[in-house]
């Protein structure tokens, strides 16, 4: 990961915290200041746009999939995994767009 030295500029790093509402977090409306050089912007899971336009992105593990553990009829356990294919494809195809809530 590349280091960024913002001490010589007035620009604050813009970091996106994406999808935390899926985990039950109340998303702040205003950016949250992180130290002197960065702002954390929260975006809902349903926000439109790409995730590659800002200086950084935080995505919680597991927000795109749902794992259900089940018991087999013949004994043993197995996991049934479902994921949001449409949203994952939208994120890949929408590179270059900005987010709107």
89 band by pLDDT with thresholds 50, 70 and 90: confident
Classify residue 27 by its DSSP letter: P
Give the pLDDT of residue 90.
72
Residue whose structure tokens are 């998303």: 27
> In this model, does residue 8 exceed pLDDT 80?
no
Give the pLDDT of residue 38.
93
> In this model, does residue 5 exceed pLDDT 90?
no
Q: What is the pLDDT of residues 21-35, one digit of tens each?
A: 999 999 999 999 988
Which residues on neighbouring strands pair with residue 45, listed in sequence order? none
Torsion angles phi and psi, residue 78, rounded to 5:
-150, 160
pLDDT (mean) for 49-54: 76
């Amino acid at each position: 990961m590349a280091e960024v030295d913002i001490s010589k500029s007035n620009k604050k790093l813009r970091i996106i915290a994406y999808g935390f509402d899926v985990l039950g977090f109340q998303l702040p409306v205003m950016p949250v200041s992180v130290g002197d050089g960065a702002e954390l912007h929260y975006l809902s899971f349903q926000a439109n746009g790409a995730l590659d336009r800002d200086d950084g992105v935080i995505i919680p593990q597991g927000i795109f999939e749902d794992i259900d553990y089940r018991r087999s009829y013949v004994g043993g356990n197995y996991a049934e995994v479902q994921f949001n294919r449409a949203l994952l494809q939208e994120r890949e195809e929408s590179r270059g767009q900005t987010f709107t809530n």
